[in-house]
Structure 1
Amino acid sequence: MVTSAPLVRPGGAGTFAGGRPGRPPDEPDGPGDGTAESRERSGPSGRVSRLRIGWHAVARTGLRRVTVTRPLPAGLVLGHDQRQVPVPLRLFAPEPVRVTLIGGVWAAQLLIFRAFAIGARVFVVTTEPQAWQGFGERATGQQSRLTIVGGEPDQPYGGTAQSPVLTVFDLGMTGPATSPPLGPWHSQLTVLRQLDRPGTAVLQEAELAVMQRLGSEEATLAAAARKLGPPSGQLLQSMEDDMLALFGDGDDRYLFLNQTGIEQQYMGLPRR
């Protein structure tokens, strides 16, 4: 779900309506409910009795106030939204995941740089190998973490939860000629450096779509391919350089990348 509100960088001033949460109208003050059972569990001051080895009594009204903190969603952290809430990208899973990125090699390599941190191995099929030469070694210090291959794989690579596999297709404005086989913990990232009609099919078929700022014609094609509302077409054209949009994993998300110093050192500032 998106709105037509302007995209505002996190950290701006703001207030929330409403006061402190109150207790239900029929709930009395204090930890006890006035019953004999409550008085038995409480000390002379009305407070919960001292902890005893082996058991701990808590008043029923106190239990009603206990809450569980919601855990962060699982996945590779792609960035943070305007409320500074982490936005994950569910890039790897027991079942294959297909992601389409509309953007440049810089954005693709940023995703891969972060995937390296969770143990990923990467195979790149590209028409421009010089753009990828040496990237894996610089990022990881190892030669085996990123491999440039000459053609589309004819069988899935073996991946595990500890060492997932990502096959990247960087073929310009189209995806692979055929849908490559994918196994467990083996995902596909298709990079469309520019969106034109030949690339809309791979955008439609992807479970997840990630986009840098788009031109007007690209935004129109993307909105039609992903069945996005009119506000999305406008927001996709107004994002800042260090922003991405994520579609297909719940609500539509617009996020700030929050590059680390190491990422800036190895990859430079955001660009497409």
Structure 2
Amino acid sequence: MATPSPLAQPIAPDRPGGPPDGPDGTGGRERTGPSGRTSRLHIGWHSISRAGLRRVTVTPSTGAGLLLGKDRQQSPVPLRLFAPEPIRVALVGGVWAAQLLIFRAFSLGARAIVVTSEPQAWSGFGERATGQYNRLTVLSSDQGGFPGGTAQTPTLTVYDLGMIGPATAPPLGPWHTQLTILRQLDRPGVAALQEAQLVLLQRLGGDEATLASATLRLRPQSGQFLQFMADDMVALIADGTERHLFLHQTGVEQQYVGLPRR
């Protein structure tokens, strides 16, 4: 509720000139429910004025989201990682940034499936991060047919195949997001950037920045800045807009994911 304060305290009904309260606090009268019949229980009854009732609103849900970080003006930057429609995300960077994103996705109830050419980099991560053995599955080959997600338990399929994405774009259903990690950006990874609705970039080398700028149609000064971002920064490109933000890793995240790095 947008304005819960009207309900914070029960408001006693006005009784001008009425009799004093009896032992039960009813003023000597029996309290009645909405049907007009006598109510045996008085617990939980509250009154609210019509003006207060008009101020009570319900904010509609816009889908599961997580706080990705803060921009250079210290404004929070949310990321809608899961939605009723499928989402494809591309990350040019290292396992650290991917695991930080997955760690935060776990707080939304997500389950992750990682298809990787480097399984040792993911060994034990799911168990350490969640204390459970079924929240993250590591596969060394793309077996396809991954289970779909729900609003309560969305699915995150992660492809960590070096410099390329999956050979074929697997079908995704509702509440199912695909994250493609490109350890280094080169021509073979361009298709993954073009197919993604959300692109995350860690600090890039000169050739990577040139290719990313051309593929994503970034401003010339953006390509320069991408080469000098701090370890705990990413660029977020979505809907034709670009934002540079600090990930603001917590102490708990440092414990389970490690210090910022590419």
Asked if TM exceeds 0.5, the reply is yes
Q: Is the 8 A contact 2:117 2:140 kept in 1?
A: no
Q: What amino acid sits opposite 2:184 in the alignment?
A: Q
Aligned equivalent of 2:217: 227
Q: What amino acid sits opposite 2:259 in the alignment?
A: L
CA distance in structure 2 between the aligned counterparts of 1:232 and 1:91, rounded to whole angstroms: 24
CA distance in structure 1 between the aligned counterparts of 2:60 and 2:71, rounded to whole angstroms: 17
Aligned equivalent of 1:252: 242
Are 1:207 and 2:174 counterparts?
Answer: no
CA distance in structure 2 between the aligned counterparts of 1:129 and 1:269, rounded to whole angstroms: 20
1:54 positional shift: 4.0
Q: What amino acid sits opposite 1:270 in the alignment?
A: P
Aligned equivalent of 2:176: 186
Q: Is the 8 A contact 1:153 1:180 kept in 2?
A: no
Q: What amino acid sits opposite 2:149 in the alignment?
A: G
Aligned partner of residue 199 in structure 1, secondary structure:
helix
Q: Which moved more, 1:167-176 or 1:78-87?
A: 78-87
Q: What amino acid sits opposite 2:227 in the alignment?
A: Q
Structure 1 gap ranges (5+): 1-52, 58-65
User: C-alpha deviations, 1:165-202, integer Å up to 9, x for none?
Assistant: 00000000000000011111011000000001111111
User: C-alpha deviations, 1:19-68, integer Å up to 9, x for none?
Assistant: xxxxxxxxxxxxxxxxxxxxxxxxxxxxxxxxxx84559xxxxxxxx9x9
Q: Is the 8 A contact 1:156 1:181 kept in 2?
A: no
Q: What amino acid sits opposite 2:257 in the alignment?
A: M
Q: Is the 8 A contact 1:154 1:181 kept in 2?
A: no
User: C-alpha deviations, 1:220-267, integer Å up to 9, x for none?
Assistant: 000111111111101111111110110014631100011101011112
CA distance in structure 2 between the aligned counterparts of 1:158 and 1:75, rounded to whole angstroms: 18
RMSD between aligned residues: 2.3
Structure 2 gap ranges (5+): 1-47
Q: Normalised by the size of structure 1, how large is the TM-score? A: 0.73
Identity across the alignment (%): 68
1:115 positional shift: 0.3
Are 1:160 and 2:159 counterparts?
Answer: no
CA distance in structure 2 between the aligned counterparts of 1:164 and 1:82, rounded to whole angstroms: 30
Aligned equivalent of 2:163: 173
Aligned equivalent of 1:40: none
CA distance in structure 1 between the aligned counterparts of 2:50 and 2:166, rounded to whole angstroms: 62
CA distance in structure 2 between the aligned counterparts of 1:250 and 1:140, rounded to whole angstroms: 35
Aligned equivalent of 2:78: 88
User: C-alpha deviations, 1:104-161, integer Å up to 9, x for none?
Assistant: 0011000000000110000000000000010000000000000012322432412001
Aligned equivalent of 1:262: 252
CA distance in structure 1 between the aligned counterparts of 2:105 and 2:75, rounded to whole angstroms: 20
Aligned equivalent of 1:136: 126
Q: What amino acid sits opposite 1:113 in the alignment?
A: F
CA distance in structure 2 between the aligned counterparts of 1:137 and 1:255, rounded to whole angstroms: 29
Q: Normalised by the size of structure 2, how large is the TM-score? A: 0.75
Q: Which moved more, 1:148-157 or 1:168-177?
A: 148-157
Aligned equivalent of 2:137: 147
Aligned equivalent of 2:26: none
CA distance in structure 2 between the aligned counterparts of 1:208 and 1:85, rounded to whole angstroms: 19
Distance 1:266 1:55, change over 3 A: closer
Aligned partner of residue 154 in structure 1, secondary structure:
coil
Q: Which moved more, 1:177-186 or 1:145-154?
A: 145-154
CA distance in structure 2 between the aligned counterparts of 1:257 and 1:100, rounded to whole angstroms: 17
CA distance in structure 2 between the aligned counterparts of 1:56 and 1:122, rounded to whole angstroms: 47
